[in-house]
Amino acid sequence: MTSPSPTSVLDVELRPGSPPVLRAGSPGNPVVWAAEHRGALRAAVLEHGSLLVRGLGLADADAVAAVAGRLTDRLVGEREAFAPRQPLSGGLYSATPWPANQPMCMHHELSYALEFPGLLLFACLTAPDTGGATAVADAPTVLEALPADLVARFEREGWMLLRSYNDEIGAPWPEAFGTADRGEVEAYCRANGIEVEWQPDGGLRTRQRRSAVVRHPVTGRRCWFNQVAFLNEWTLAEEVREYLVDVYGREGLPFTTAFGDGSSIGEDVVELLNSVYEQHTAREPWQDGDLLLVDNVRSAHSREAYTGPREVVVALADPVRLDDCSPTIPVGAP
């Protein structure tokens, strides 16, 4: 079914189980087209939470950066990264490195930071042979589908991210914080409500508490906005989790999540969260040249397992402050 968006002149296809799709019609110059349609595209993303633009023919990072420059107000860099991304020209990044045979479950980009991108742009330069979709899930719908008592606990306590930085798994702390100066790291953490614990071997452990439910900064809709499931140990493949626990111990896992009071989140809760996400997942296989726009507060996103080469580049744009999203708990650790 094709349904015109009431907030724009764009003809957006709305199909169950798929993100909204706009067929651009192979414009001669995608940069000019993006500039001409900026207002309508952003209105469609605000209305639907995401929008897959097909037919732009984006073939390289330079073209994607030029289009991103027309559609966004400001590209932002990444701090507190959990895995190293490769910076690309024009302020873009490579997709987060993750084994091709393992899915990356639903999450909101940098939802553990006090400032995070409000808009994400994913561009597919090379589509995989099979799988590999960047799927989306509507955060207000997910919130409504979760058990009321669980939501109430997360609203009351928030969620906690616990990290143990090392040089083997994920981004080492100098890379994650953009500096090898301990004093600068400590100052950043103080300013951002992060508790710091230096280890005898030079490693770093941190914990930070954040709201799990926020309001969209423009529409005011309540959204399930966090990385409770994505960064929890129980989301990892069993063999990966067992290896990490064996090597680092439960206290030294590179990352995991907890309830806001610090108590453990059980496997049953993580399975429930991922199950609800799956029930409300919208996916569309990538095609070369596609552009996916995602409202990072309104929509969670994932990456599905795939085969064959896959090249997707990412722009993080238009930062939003947590303070502007009606957080339910104070920033910091209890």
Which residue type occupies 156? R
Model-wide pTM > 0.85: yes
Token output for 102: 């393992």
Is 67 a member of any domain?
Answer: yes
Q: Let me know whether 304 and 236 are in one domain.
A: no
Is 59 a member of any domain?
Answer: yes
Q: Let me know whether 118 and 183 are in one domain.
A: no
Q: Let me know whether 162 and 260 are in one domain.
A: yes
What lies within 8 Å, CB to CB, of 103 at 6+ separation is 302, 303, 304, 305
Token output for 11: 């003809």
Q: Let me know whether 202 and 313 are in one domain.
A: no
Is 31 a member of any domain?
Answer: yes
Q: Let me know whether 36 and 59 are in one domain.
A: yes
Domain that holds residue 194: 141-275
Is 207 a member of any domain?
Answer: yes
DSSP-derived 3-state class of residue 294: strand
Four-CA torsion 19, 20, 23, 24, nearest 10 degrees: -100
Is the C-alpha dihedral spanning 132, 176, 321, 270 positive or negative? positive
d(CA 123, CA 48): 19
CATH of the domain at 219: 3.60.130.10
Residue 182: count other Cβ atoms within 10 Å of its Cβ.
Answer: 15
Is 33 a member of any domain?
Answer: yes
Q: Let me know whether 156 and 247 are in one domain.
A: yes
Paired strand residues for 317: 75, 119
Q: Let me know whether 181 and 242 are in one domain.
A: yes
Annotate 203-247 with DSSP letters as a single string.
-EEEEEEE-SEEE-TTT--EEE-S-TTTTSGGGS-HHHHHHHHHH
Is 136 a member of any domain?
Answer: no
Q: Let me know whether 91 and 11 are in one domain.
A: yes
Q: Let me know whether 168 and 125 are in one domain.
A: no
Is residue 120 within 8 Å of 293, Cβ to Cβ?
Answer: yes
Work out how many domains the chain is built from and give that number: 2
Q: Let me know whether 253 and 290 are in one domain.
A: no
Is 334 a member of any domain?
Answer: no
Token output for 7: 């907030």
Strand (E) or helix (H) holding 37: helix 30-48
Is 120 a member of any domain?
Answer: yes
Q: pLDDT tens track of the chain, all 334 residues?
A: 333 334 346 899 999 999 999 999 878 899 999 999 999 999 999 999 999 999 999 999 999 999 999 999 999 988 888 777 888 989 999 988 888 998 999 999 999 999 999 999 999 999 999 999 999 999 999 999 999 999 999 999 999 999 999 877 778 899 899 999 999 999 999 999 999 999 998 899 999 999 999 999 999 999 999 999 999 999 988 888 899 899 888 888 999 999 999 999 999 999 999 999 999 999 999 999 999 999 999 999 999 999 999 999 999 999 999 999 999 998 865 5
Closest residue by Cα to residue 109 from 328, 305, 302, 312: 302
Q: Let me know whether 218 and 150 are in one domain.
A: yes
Q: Let me know whether 152 and 123 are in one domain.
A: no
Four-CA torsion 208, 281, 291, 21, nearest 10 degrees: -140
